[in-house]
Chains A and B, each alone.
Chain A
């Protein structure tokens, strides 16, 4: 090798961002680049001509020594990972985070005049190693939190199941006793005792009826959200809900096309409540119209009637629990059922011109099957 050529090679190796050390078969260091000098604080003058093990004592340790032997015995390149050999080359005292984890490769090559040599390259893998450690820690933390969440979910499911059982048994017993109570009440009313007693018995009957409605509401409310939401064809939903003696003289017209909405199975009850409300509170309602308005990110289902409408002074309270002239639970329950799948309901009618309910269905919770 000419001295010019050797100088070019040496300058090139000095410019590389990896540490490079070349040794002869007797482990004498013949080259020590600037990057290793920066990391170790050992100059080329101090290292070159010395035995590798004297400058880098780790290579004197049995398993590193035997790996080095393999290189010169024709085994090919050797890789020393940062996992099993975190740091082989010593670092200078005031070094910061660099070189903390090193990956080393040792590869044999032949120089025509000098015989077998080995080139040792040292990569600083501190950043990637620490990043992997952080990533693993984060992954473990997520796995731990997921496991905790699962345990909480299991505990909640168990508690919910117990509460549902308790609620169901209590309701069942209450209904049984209420039925007996109503039976005796009917007998007493049929006796036609007259006077104040008769009035009190009538009031007791109303009260028993209200108790029955409250128990029914409790059952419906308990069932809310228990079943998986499914897709409902709005036109069929309205058609199936508007059945019963109360709708005998009412025309229900639906014009929502193929619109389908994702809803809790209790949606049937919610739509029934709205239709029943239109008849019960509309006083002279004869016509109910259901339409839909599509916008880029939602669909609004409009349900309007030609009854008396909702007086301005109560508009803000009609969805509150306990408000109303009947049980005070119908619209509250309706709003809760719709809310399970993200639907919102408001009343926008003009008093005197009928009620108008707008149900906003968010994106992803409505579809038009013919478009798919």
Chain B
């Protein structure tokens, strides 16, 4: 599948704007100095050969996933995926808890859902300039396990994936995860056309 550099740049810019906006919101929310960066964005077809190693991303046995599913002009899901242990560290750093907890209890899950939701909502909000109508959303959900086995993220239908490596910098620590857009081919075609149109004509 051929995807032009302009489209990849457009997608990267929209994700970066959304992530940047969410960093500001997380700073206000937590009073922790958080910097979020997106060093890499890749677009690829999801098929049987789409394995984490082929994508050059980590696939720990246990990862924490916050997933927002949507339908309408775009149909698919957007997830924040962080290795389980890193997710606990992230929550602990953001909340300023003492000690070094080793498990994700109910309160930490709730906190991670909110942080994930801030990032996902900001990115979705950033992408909404490409839309002419409102999307329908499900509530964000939290899942654990291997993300490639999560049916909410990956399923058997041919789809398109946008993977954005995401780094959190908090108090001299760096926590890496990624944002994963999983959308139908039709949704991506529409997204592609709109990006090219905006680039040509302006907003």
Interface of A toward B, CB cutoff 8 Å: 62-63, 66-67, 70-71, 73-84, 103, 105, 107-110, 116, 125, 128-129, 132, 135-136, 140
Cα distance A105–B117 when bound, in Å? 11
* A80 with B114: CB separation less than 8 A: yes
* B134 with A116: CB separation less than 8 A: yes
CB of A59 to closest CB in B, whole Å = 15
Cα distance A78–B125 when bound, in Å? 12
* A76 with B30: CB separation less than 8 A: no
Size bracket of the B interface: 20 to 34
Cα distance A74–B121 when bound, in Å? 8
Main secondary structure of the interface of B (DSSP, over half): helix
Question: Which residue of chain A lies nearest to B66 when distances are taken between CB atoms in the complex?
Answer: A79
Given A63-B29, A83-B107; A75-B125 close (CB under 8 Å): yes
* B131 with A78: CB separation less than 8 A: no
Residues of A within 8 A of B106 (CB): 128, 132
* A73 with B128: CB separation less than 8 A: yes
Residues of B within 8 A of A135 (CB): 105
Residues of A within 8 A of B135 (CB): 74, 76
CB of A310 to closest CB in B, whole Å = 58
Residues of A within 8 A of B125 (CB): 70, 73-76
* B121 with A81: CB separation less than 8 A: no
Cα distance A70–B121 when bound, in Å? 7
* B114 with A108: CB separation less than 8 A: no
Q: Which of A62, A108, A129 contacts B107 (CB 8 A)?
A: A129
* B134 with A81: CB separation less than 8 A: no
* B139 with A83: CB separation less than 8 A: no
* B70 with A76: CB separation less than 8 A: yes
Q: Which of A62, A67, A105 contacts B139 (CB 8 A)?
A: A105
Number of A-B residue pairs with CB-CB distance less than 8 Å in the complex they form: 86
Beyond the given A77-B68, A79-B110, A140-B99, please list 13 additional residue pairs across the A-B interface where CB-CB is below 8 A: A63-B25, A71-B121, A76-B70, A77-B121, A77-B137, A78-B117, A80-B114, A82-B110, A83-B111, A107-B139, A109-B136, A116-B134, A125-B110
Residue B122 at the A interface, CB < 8 A? yes
Given A75-B124, A78-B117, A78-B121; A103-B131 close (CB under 8 Å): no
* A132 with B105: CB separation less than 8 A: yes
- 12 A-B pairs in the complex with CB atoms less than 8 angstroms apart: A70-B121, A71-B121, A75-B121, A76-B140, A79-B110, A79-B114, A83-B111, A109-B136, A125-B110, A129-B107, A132-B105, A136-B101
* B30 with A79: CB separation less than 8 A: no
Residue B34 at the A interface, CB < 8 A? no
Residue B113 at the A interface, CB < 8 A? yes
Residues of B within 8 A of A81 (CB): 110-111, 113-114
CB of B32 to closest CB in A, whole Å = 11
Cα distance A73–B129 when bound, in Å? 9
Given A76-B120, A132-B105; A84-B134 close (CB under 8 Å): no
Residues of A within 8 A of B140 (CB): 76-77, 79
Residue B95 at the A interface, CB < 8 A? yes
| B55-87 vs A, Cβ < 8 Å mask (1 yes, 0 no) | 000000000000010100000000000000000
Residues of A within 8 A of B134 (CB): 74, 108, 110, 116
